[in-house]
Structures are given as C-alpha cells and as structure tokens.
C-alpha cells in the first residue's frame, strides 16, 4: 500500500457543545449521519464524541486533499466502529467516487479526546 495523503485536526469540545446548544438537531443532521448521532447521544458526554468525529471528517478531507465542499461533503463521511472498537471511515456519494477515481482503497483514522479537546488523524491509502 502507498500513502495518498495524511490529515490531522484538533477541535475544542466547547465549540461543538455551543453549536449543539445553538442549532440543535439541524446542526447534528448537517454534519453527522443517523448512526453517528445515535452512537454519540448514547454516551455520557455526547459532545466529546461528536467533536472526535468532526475532527475525523476534517482530517479525512485533508488526507484526500479536497477539503469539505464540492468533492466531499459532511454526509459523504461516516465514522463507524468495528466490532473490535477500532474506528473506521466509510465514504459514500461524491467522496466514494473521488476515492474510486484516485485508487484510494482505505482511509485509516484514529480519534482521541481529553477534557477540552478532541483530535483525529487520517491516512488515505492506495494499492496503486
């Protein structure tokens, strides 16, 4: 496998908490899939988990070199948990199409969080 690109992102958890307080479900539905929302809302501090997923999506957009916009939208990316607990980035829509066009087979992500910050990194891998 070869590295297509890498990305990293850090976000203040308070920023996500304020967005949830201000915009509620409209904000959550714009950024996160139904399954991501269900998972995060089951946690003791949902904003921590939302923030980590936000960072994973930002890091993924950096690894792909697209940013979030025309070639990759928030809804094209979903952080899922494997049975082992390991996070995995799953793409759909334009994001999946972009990866297909560029031979990207996998995007590895790692998430972390502390009291005030959440962070993630992403590595886009290709076999070509």
Cα separation, 70 vs 27, in Å, equals 19
pLDDT in tens, the chain (128 residues): 899 999 999 999 999 999 999 999 999 999 999 999 999 999 999 999 999 999 999 999 999 999 999 899 999 999 999 999 899 999 999 999 999 999 999 999 999 999 999 999 999 999 87
Which distant-in-sequence residues (6+ apart) come within 8 Å of 104 by Cβ? Answer: 4, 64, 98, 124, 125, 126
Please report the domains of the chain, with CATH numbers, ordered by start residue: 2-126 (3.90.470.20)
Cα separation, 127 vs 25, in Å, equals 39
Two structure tokens written together for 36: 């991501």
Cα separation, 72 vs 95, in Å, equals 5
Question: Residue 128 has what pLDDT?
Answer: 72
CB 90, CB 81: distance < 8 Å? no
Cα separation, 72 vs 57, in Å, equals 10
Phi and psi at residue 68, in whole multiples of 5°? -105, 120
Name the pTM for this structure.
0.95
For the residues of 43-58, what is the DSSP string, one character each? SSSHHHHHHHHHHHHH
Question: Residue 26 has what pLDDT?
Answer: 96
Two structure tokens written together for 1: 């496998």
Query: Which residues participate in catalysis according to the annotation?
Result: 62, 113
């Amino acid at each position: 496998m070869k590295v297509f690109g890498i990305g990293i992102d850090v976000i203040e958890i308070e920023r996500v908490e304020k967005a949830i307080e201000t915009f509620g479900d409209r904000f959550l539905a714009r950024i996160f899939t139904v399954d991501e929302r269900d998972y995060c809302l089951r946690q003791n501090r949902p904003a921590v988990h939302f923030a980590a997923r936000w960072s994973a999506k930002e890091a993924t957009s950096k690894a792909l070199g697209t940013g979030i916009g025309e070639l990759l939208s928030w809804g094209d990316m979903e952080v899922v948990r494997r049975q082992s607990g390991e996070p995995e980035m799953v793409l759909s829509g334009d994001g999946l199409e972009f990866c297909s066009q560029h031979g990207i087979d996998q995007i590895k992500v790692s998430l972390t969080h502390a009291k005030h910050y959440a962070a993630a990194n992403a590595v886009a891998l290709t076999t070509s």
